[in-house]
Structure 1
Amino acid sequence: MIVVFGSINVDLVTAVPRLPGPGETVKGPGYRTFPGGKGANQALAARRAGASVAMVGAVGDDGFRAEALSLLDAAGVDLSGVAAADAPTGIALIAVDERAENQIVVASGANALADPAGVASRIGAGDWLLLQFEVPDAAVLAAAEAAKRAGARVILNAAPAGPVPTALAALLDVLIVNEHEAAEVAASAGLPDEPKAFAAAWAARTGGACVVTLGAEGAFAASGGETVSVAPPAVTVVDTTAAGDGFVGAFAAALDRGASLADALLDGVAAGSLAVEAAGAQPSLPGADAIRARAAGLKATR
């Protein structure tokens, strides 16, 4: 099973001709709302990829609550660990330009009150805990500590970008970052900032695996002195918002069913490439059959 401790939001998405610069206003024709939040997105991605998933987090007692949880509930994610907090449900304001690039501002709301105590009662030996940085750092560390006490394994997607505290790094089995996040972690850890060199150096230092997603170049992983890379297929990009979360959820689901690092990387790249072909974060996350079909056409290079 995968337990996800993280953020739950509603995304307000508008299409714009180009992303605004500092102090600039750019008009969009309207907006749409979608369930979102990196924690919720990754929980749904893992569930659609075939894993049993429990979500631990917080939402407000407000009008956004039902929408924030709607697709998780419909997919069969265990929501018993989602608490009602004395704060508004988190929201993300997302602008998507004509090249399908995005700009995101997150208002944490109830996510700032997410309680890691819910992890301990839901995780057991052999399970996976999936973490991100959209809830407080202290809560992320406490959740990882609870998972390790239970004999579970820990994946951190260090997003939004920021340093990984030494105490947290020591608890990780897998670190997942994109190129920008890799540079942020590398700078704070005194490691090389070139993505592949960073992954190898992190794996050598910590003894865990490190995965770097490379956008249009696919993904690269290092573990135990070995490396593997997967190039993505050619796709028509509609919206990149869920690419990273789709990758992380499918990758975690593959590990949960006992797949090798290479096979998990194939599933992750397949899911990420499928997610960019549709609009909205959670609505674009693919199912297991689509992931397997696309992964079958990809190749892992060692």
Structure 2
Amino acid sequence: MSILVVGAIHHDVIVDAPSLPRLDETLPGSAVRYAFGGKGGNQAVAAGRLTKHDKTSISMAACVGSDAPGDQALDILADAGVATNQVQRVETPTGMSVAISLPDGGYGAVIVSGSNQKLDADAIAITPPTQWVVLQNELPLAANETIAEKAKRAGARVLLNAAPARPLGSDLAGQLDCLVVNRVEAADLLGLSAKTLDGKAAVLQLAANYGCAVIVTLGDQGLWFIDLDSAEFLPAHEVSVISSHGAGDAFIGALTVALCRGQSLAAGVRYASAAAAMHVSTPVEERALITDEMVQTLAQTSSR
């Protein structure tokens, strides 16, 4: 069993603040921390930590700078059990993100892509037994299209986390086996308002538009998913949120692990939802201690 995550790696600067600043406003923060980030990097680490004790192989293809953040990124991936032989290195600085974390667990962020824009998609190898290739929208569309085409030629399935939201492009859309979006991304793809988005209607329309399995996540309001014809709803676990930063990436990493293990989409979303719930309710410094067994135990409570 093998998963290849192709995506961005960022050096994150995370500031705790009472609110998002208004235009021209300066706010006093209460703490700052530095972390490994990027949707692709976070998803690979999440998958790696959940598969340390089984035979699932997790690999990362990305591009980082020849700098200290790039060195740190490789170390973090390796420590999570992720193979890094397809992580490219360039002179352009490693990408970075500045995030503001709010007291209620919400956040806002700005990314600077840096070295991620230099990824050479043609140099990435996708060979059997790769079962799933995971993509996001932090890489250029052309790179995602190239990787998706390679994946299909190699007999692998393609999961796209369409975040940040942007038009998919017909070449990429036609290669997808699974599309995962949150409320905002679903609304953008459908030209609707996120505030009034109906999750069931959105998942049905996206499945009709793209002809693949679709998951629309709604935060603490649960999620809608569709594999074949009927849409199903899964409520969120009731947990005390410490921070929602990175929850979507924890969900994607866990979902792909479940699918690679041969689980159905319904079982996969239960497992992924549990992983995300544990992520948001666990102190940041303890998240690396979340195990597959812990996630499976919580997931079982949503299947009763």
TM range (shorter): over 0.9
Cα deviation code 1:212-269 (max 9, x no counterpart): 1110012210121122222122111111011100111101110001000100010110
- Relative to the length of structure 2, the TM-score reads 0.92
Once superposed, what is the RMSD of the aligned Cα atoms? 2.0
Identity %: 36
Given that 1:131 and 1:140 are in contact with CA atoms closer than 8 Å, whether structure 2 keeps it comes out as yes
Cα deviation code 1:94-122 (max 9, x no counterpart): 11111111010101111111122343x24
The one-letter code matched in structure 2 to 1:80 is N
Larger deviation, residues 282-291 vs 154-163: 282-291
Aligned position for 1:268: 272
Matched, 1:62 2:73: no
| Separation (CA, whole Å) in 2 of partners of 1:82 and 1:126 | 17
Determine helix, strand or coil for the equivalent of 2:191: helix
- Relative to the length of structure 1, the TM-score reads 0.92
The offset of 1:93, in angstroms, is: 0.5
Cα deviation code 1:178-236 (max 9, x no counterpart): 00000111129xxx953321211222343310001110012210121122222122111
| Separation (CA, whole Å) in 2 of partners of 1:247 and 1:105 | 21
Determine helix, strand or coil for the equivalent of 2:99: strand
Aligned position for 2:290: 286
The offset of 1:124, in angstroms, is: 2.4
Aligned position for 1:228: 232
| Within-5 A mapping of 1:151-190 | 151-187=155-191
Aligned position for 1:195: 199
Residues 40, 282 of structure 1: alpha-carbon distance in 2 compared, 3 angstrom cutoff: farther
Determine helix, strand or coil for the equivalent of 2:204: helix
Aligned position for 2:80: 75
Given that 2:177 and 2:213 are in contact with CA atoms closer than 8 Å, whether structure 1 keeps it comes out as yes
The offset of 1:170, in angstroms, is: 0.5
Cα deviation code 1:61-105 (max 9, x no counterpart): 112112223321102101000011120011110111111110101
Residues 149, 122 of structure 1: alpha-carbon distance in 2 compared, 3 angstrom cutoff: closer
The offset of 1:26, in angstroms, is: 1.4
The one-letter code matched in structure 2 to 1:78 is A
Matched, 1:38 2:34: no
Determine helix, strand or coil for the equivalent of 1:64: helix
How many residue pairs get aligned? The number is 296
| Separation (CA, whole Å) in 1 of partners of 2:166 and 2:242 | 28
Determine helix, strand or coil for the equivalent of 2:243: coil
| Separation (CA, whole Å) in 1 of partners of 2:89 and 2:3 | 22
Matched, 1:214 2:218: yes
Aligned position for 2:106: 101
| Separation (CA, whole Å) in 2 of partners of 1:289 and 1:271 | 11
Structure 1 unaligned runs (5+)?
none
Pairing partner for 1:239 from 218, 239, 243: 243
Q: Which runs of 4+ in 1 moved over 4 A?
A: 279-285
| Separation (CA, whole Å) in 1 of partners of 2:90 and 2:184 | 32
| Separation (CA, whole Å) in 1 of partners of 2:18 and 2:156 | 45
Structure 2 unaligned runs (5+)?
none
| Separation (CA, whole Å) in 1 of partners of 2:168 and 2:286 | 27
